[in-house]
Amino acid sequence: MPLELFLDLYSQPCRSVYIFAKRNNIKFDFKKISLFGGEQYAEEFGKINMIRKAPAMRDVDFCLAESIAIMTYLSEKFQTPDHWYPADIHKRARVNEYLSWQHTAIRLQGAKVFWLRLLIPKMLGEEVPKEKMAAALEDLDGSLKLIEEKFLEEKPFIAGDEISLADLVAIVEIMQPVGSGLNVFEGRPKLSAWRDRVRAAIGPELFDETHQIVLNAQEWVNTMDGSTVQAYKPKILRLFM
């Protein structure tokens, strides 16, 4: 029985897991979970992950949440090429350093810009104060700057010469604000060049296919039924506004 991966490709960590599994030819059942449709609240999904978040994995009777835990599990179980999560102590430390830092440094900021620019006004019908938007953009800028100056420096990839989980986790988060119509790569040649290398290393077809949904967000948001999301409006506003 193959692995089951419960994914919604609107979600950044779902994209990294999807890309990682596909790139490494890991057989899995794609279990689509529509977050905006509230499918994470279905009874069955609660048995996979009681916190009701995606991505989630079920490997026979072993259930696991958190994209980083899932990918390191897959890398170990399927003995994926070393560069993804290098055995070398220093390279691995660099990857771990990024994977830890990114949660509150880029993931939060990228998600915030996506919600403030697109979903909160368009799906929740709530106006976003100018200064909140400006602050969010400033924070995102600061994080992107750190990615360039501290994590990339002059290297082709975060851990060195080859792509790793760090670059994969980074790229999916950086693409989120792009989905809201913000071209974060403009005026950032170093980041753009790194993006091109990451896309090439993943495979342009797989990269583009995975990001198609979020990159079309500005269109589908107009046709989306946001009624389920409305129920979570207070929590969303609390987190992002």
Partner 1 sequence: MPLELYLDLFSQPCRSVYIFAKKNNIPFDFKKISLMEGDHYGEDFGKVNMMRKVPAMRDGEFCLAESVAMMIYMVEKFKTPDYWYPADLHKRARVNEYLSWQHMSIRMHGSKMFWVKVLIPKIMGREVPQEKRDAAIEDLDESLKWLEEKFLQDGPFIAGDHISLADLVAIVEVYQPVGAGVDVFEGRPKLSAWRDRVRQEIGPELFDEAHQGIMGAIEVVKTLDSSKMQAFRPRIQKMFF
Residues of the shown chain interacting with partner 1 in the complex, contacts defined by CB under 8 A: 50-51, 62, 64-70, 72-73, 76-77, 89-90, 92-93, 96-97, 99-101, 103-104, 107-108, 131, 135, 146, 149-150, 238
Identify which of residues 146 and 213 has a Cβ nearer to partner 1 in the complex. Answer: 146
As measured in angstroms, the least distance from the Cβ of 206 to partner 1 is: 24
As measured in angstroms, the least distance from the Cβ of 225 to partner 1 is: 27
Q: Which residues contact 73 (CB under 8 A, 6 or more apart)?
A: 57, 59, 64
Identify which of residues 19 and 207 has a Cβ nearer to partner 1 in the complex. Answer: 19
CA distance 17 to 44: 21
Angle, CA 7 vertex, CA 37 and CA 111 arms, to 5°: 75
Residue recorded with tokens 């979970």: 33
Joined together, the tokens standing for residue 98 give 């990024």
Residue type (1 letter), 162: E
As measured in angstroms, the least distance from the Cβ of 67 to partner 1 is: 8
As measured in angstroms, the least distance from the Cβ of 166 to partner 1 is: 11
Identify which of residues 182 and 241 has a Cβ nearer to partner 1 in the complex. Answer: 241
As measured in angstroms, the least distance from the Cβ of 77 to partner 1 is: 6
Among residues 214, 188, 190, which one has the least CA distance to residue 111?
214
Q: Are strands 56-59 and 28-32 parallel, antiparallel or unpaired?
A: unpaired
As measured in angstroms, the least distance from the Cβ of 14 to partner 1 is: 14
Residue recorded with tokens 């992002």: 240
Joined together, the tokens standing for residue 221 give 């948001």
Edge-first strand listing for the sheet containing 56-59: 28-32, 3-7, 56-59, 62-65
Identify which of residues 107 and 195 has a Cβ nearer to partner 1 in the complex. Answer: 107
Identify which of residues 50 and 200 has a Cβ nearer to partner 1 in the complex. Answer: 50
Identify which of residues 71 and 198 has a Cβ nearer to partner 1 in the complex. Answer: 71
How far from each other are the two terminal CA atoms of the chain, in whole angstroms? Answer: 44
Identify which of residues 70 and 113 has a Cβ nearer to partner 1 in the complex. Answer: 70
As measured in angstroms, the least distance from the Cβ of 208 to partner 1 is: 27
C-alpha neighbours within 13 Å on the C-beta side of residue 236: 21
